[in-house]
Structure formats: structure tokens, C-alpha cells
Chains A and B, each alone.
Chain A
Amino acid sequence: MTWLWSNLDEVGELMLVHLALSVPAVILSLVFSIPLGWTAHRYAWSRGVLLSIAALLYAIPSLALFVSLPPLTGFGLRSPMNLVIALTIYGVAVMVRTAADAFDSVSREVRQSATALGYSASGRFWGVELPLAGPVLLSGLRVVIVSTVSLATVGAVIGVPSLGSLFTDGFQRGIQAEIVTGIVATILLALVLDLVAVLLGRLLLPWTRTPSGRRASQERAMETTERVAGAA
């Protein structure tokens, strides 16, 4: 505890740095997964290809990815950008399948009904399919948040500062309290971001708050989470 009090500033700063690494990666993962997931949902032939690529990407050891990216992207090994890109790749790899499932979860009937009402293809996507895919997308996003926040710590090994630096530093200098602080801070950060996602979900997906609406979307989200957990 004394270690924490005398290093509070540094821990706070690392927390912000960690946040600055993970939040962009989480957002980018979502942004890229949506069109990829939609494609996998819409075109049956692309599903196998996209999901296999995602699984392959996820199988690349993280350190190997960190060191092999710089020549491809032009960013330095210790650049935070390098880490954000790597985290985004993993995020997309985790999220694509859920995004495909999310669009699958929108019933055929509702899609046909939207078409009959006179939605254009793009209007239907933004006005009907995307919002209705929301609950399942959210469940996938929560998995991405936790995995990204945790994976970002690995950056410390190649010299990108984050809460992970507390592990490496604490390990090198033999300070137990520093390591424990790093673990607790990482978990806290993940929980806070998860909470933010849930609150945003309640705000943006108000219909899921009605008793029967909640039941329906919870069932769908649960099925998906189980599948994601099973795959991981």
C-alpha cells in the first residue's frame, strides 16, 4: 500500500496511457468488425473465409505480431500506434464472428417488413439492421474491451508504456506491491470501460430495457457470449 501511495501519480499516468492505447483499439475494432461481420452475414461464401482469417489472426502470438508490424506499417516498434494497430487486429479477430451473429440475429421478418415499408438498402442498414444488431454487438464489444485492456499490458515487454510497465518494472526490481497494483489497476480499468459500454448500451438501445425486450435480447446475447467463450 505504501508503494502505491508514494507512486500514485505514476500509476494514474500509466492508467491514462493505458486508456489512450485501449480505447482507440476498442473503437476501431468495432468500426472494422461491423462491415466485415455484415459481409459475412450477407454473403454466405464470404463467411467461412472471413471467420477463418479472423481465427488465424487471433492465433498469431502477440509478441510476434508486435515485432512484425513495424516494417509493414512504418511505425517504430516502440510507437504506441504499433500497439494500437496490433490490438485492433486482435479486437477485430475476436469481434467479427459476433458481428456476423449480430446481423444474423435480426429476424428475416423484420428485414422484409422494412423493405416493404420502403427502406432503401442503406436506409435499412442504418435504421433497422444496425440498431437491432446492437444488443449482440454490445455483448461482443464487452469481450473485446476486457481482452484489449488485458492484452495492452504485453506492450510493456517491447517498451510501449502501459499499466503492464508495472509488471515488468516490479518484476525486474522485485517489488511485489507494484506487480499487484498493475494487476488490480488493469482489472479496474477493464471493469470501468465495461460499465461505460453497458451504460451506453442502455442509452442507445432503450427498447432492450422493457421486460420482454430485455428477455429476448438477453437470450440472443447469452447464446453469443457462450459461443465466443467456447471459441476462446
Chain B
Amino acid sequence: MIEFRGVSKQYPDGTVAVEGVDIVIEPHTTTVLVGSSGSGKTTLLRMINRMVDPTGGQVLIDGTDVATVDPVRLRRGIGYVMQNSGLLPHRTVVDNVATVPVLTGVSRKQARARALELLDTVGLERSLADKYPSQLSGGQQQRVGVARGLAVDPNILLMDEPFGAVDPIVRSELQQELLRLQGELGKTVVFVTHDIDEAFLLGDQIVIMQQGGRISQAASPAEILAAPADAFVADFVGAERGKRSLHLTEVDGRTVVVDGDGRPAGVLAP
């Protein structure tokens, strides 16, 4: 379990990135931090693996304040996937995936063997293993990034806009892949995005951030749709714009669901 208790962050230049944040993240669930640019999502995420230290409050993992844990050791036990994959350009695909196990003392041979299995897990051909990241497509790089995040079999996987830099089709593929993986592996995933649709698709819990690093609402997708906490949330999730309001109409005796633009979204199951 990950817990944020009254967490704030003011950067040395005076910017308040996060203010008074309380979140509880249950194990084996996916929590999505969503909000517009500059709302403190990355800052919040990086407090979990101590790439950023809070200036107020505490972050706890299974009851232990992370501030008391050696940051290097902490990070080696937490998977991290970044936007644009963050792969090391001078390492081959297989060595990128094997990086953290090798850092923690696993033999190179063993780490590589495991890395090859992980390529299967994320749906990559093993023939890509000896290529360098620059020889891969954006979507492939992103998959390698996910494989690398899983390499030490971490309980916690942090993902910062991991699919932000790929085209919509690949993005949708990667989202489905992540859902499948999460179904199998049951990690505690903290996922950052500014795409509300992605948040609804992936999140068990959704944390909506607003400017100044405050939480507007933290709840399940259904709860957020049913009862947006305020006008900001309602606007952000598109409820107000009618984007998400569906209507029923009768066509040839069957009940068809149409969306706000009048396009059919499906049929109502009997």
C-alpha cells in the first residue's frame, strides 16, 4: 500500500507543485493521476521513489516512510516507465531490460535470459534483443520501457505518461496490453496521464489534479462520472459538455445507445 499523508512540495525556486495531498493506493490496483500540464502529477509520482523529496508531509510504502529508505535501494525495487521510454541509447534492448537486475548483482547471463522472457511478456520479438533503441519504433521502445520496468518483478510500477508519445492506434494497443499484463501480474500501478479517457480505461482509482497541485477528487471512475466533486471535475471529465452523456433510442424495435453527438455507441443488452 502506498500512502500520501499531507504531502506538499515547494521547489527551491518557490513553485508550489503539490499542496496538501492525501491519497491511499491499495495494493494490486491501478491508480491514475490525471490533470492538465503543470498540475504536479510527475512531482507526486517521483515522491514515491524519492526522485523528489516532499517539503511537507510523508509518503509511506507499506507503512514505512520512504524518507527513511536509501533512495538508490528504494528505486531498484520500484519499476519506472517514462514518456519516450527513457531507454539508455548506448545499450541494446536486452541490456536495457537487464539493467536493474545487473545493478543489483544478478549475473549478466541470468539477467539477459530473464530479459528475453520479458520481451515475450510485453509482446516483442526476441529478434529485437540485440538492436539499439534508436533502431526501434516508438511503440516498440515503449514496450521495452515496460519490460524494463518489470525486470526486477517489482511490487510497484510507476508510469509517467508512458504512452504519450505514440500514435493513437499504437497507444490503444499498448493500453490493452497493459490491461492484460495487469490482469496477470497484479502490480500496484501508479499511472500518470493527461488523457481522461486513458484514465477511465486503466484506473481502479482516479485522482484528478488541478493547478497548484491540489486534488480535486479521488474516486473510482464510476463515482467520478456519477458525482463529480465540483465544476472543475465535471468539466474535466467532459460530463458537462454532454460528451459522456448517452441516450437511448428505439431503432427497429431494438434499444440503441447513442452518445452526445448522436453517434451510436452500442445496443442495450437485454
Tell me the minimal C-beta distance from A209 to chain B in angstroms. 9
Between B84, B99, B148, the greatest number of chain A beta carbons within 10 A of the residue's beta carbon is seen for: B99
**At the interface, yes or no: B80 with Cβ under 8 Å from chain A?**
yes
CA distance A114 to B82 in the complex (A): 11
Contact with A along B83-113 (1 / 0, CB 8 A): 0101111110000000110011000000000
CA distance A216 to B89 in the complex (A): 11
**Within the complex, which residue of A110, A120, A207, A212 is in contact with B86, where a contact is CB–CB below 8 Å?**
A110
Report whether A118 and B51 are in contact in the complex, using a CB–CB cutoff of 8 Å: no
Contact with B along A186-218 (1 / 0, CB 8 A): 000000000000000000010100111100100
CA distance A128 to B103 in the complex (A): 13
**With known contacts A118-B100, A212-B135, A207–B75 Cβ distance under 8 A:** no
**With known contacts A207-B134, A210-B135, A213-B134, A115–B51 Cβ distance under 8 A:** yes
CA distance A56 to B135 in the complex (A): 43
Tell me the minimal C-beta distance from B72 to chain A in angstroms. 5
CA distance A230 to B209 in the complex (A): 49
**Within the complex, which residue of B75, B99, B148 is in contact with A115, where a contact is CB–CB below 8 Å?**
B75
Report whether B82 and A116 are in contact in the complex, using a CB–CB cutoff of 8 Å: yes
Tell me the minimal C-beta distance from B146 to chain A in angstroms. 13
**With known contacts A205-B90, A207-B90, A112–B134 Cβ distance under 8 A:** no
**At the interface, yes or no: A123 with Cβ under 8 Å from chain B?**
yes
Q: Which residues of B contact A213 (CB under 8 A)?
A: 89, 132, 134-135
Tell me the minimal C-beta distance from A207 to chain B in angstroms. 5
Q: Which residues of A contact B90 (CB under 8 A)?
A: 128, 131-132, 134, 205, 207
Interfacial residues of chain A within 113-129, with CB under 8 A of chain B in the complex: 113-120, 123, 128
**At the interface, yes or no: A109 with Cβ under 8 Å from chain B?**
yes
Q: Which residues of B contact A116 (CB under 8 A)?
A: 49, 51, 75, 80, 82, 86, 158
Q: Which residues of B contact A113 (CB under 8 A)?
A: 80, 82, 86-88
CA distance A109 to B133 in the complex (A): 14
Report whether B75 and A118 are in contact in the complex, using a CB–CB cutoff of 8 Å: yes
Between A128, A134, A205, A211, the greatest number of chain B beta carbons within 10 A of the residue's beta carbon is seen for: A128
Instruction: Give 11 pairs: A residue, B residue, CB < 8 Å, sorted on A.
Output: A112-B51, A116-B49, A116-B158, A117-B103, A118-B72, A128-B90, A134-B90, A205-B90, A207-B89, A213-B132, A213-B134
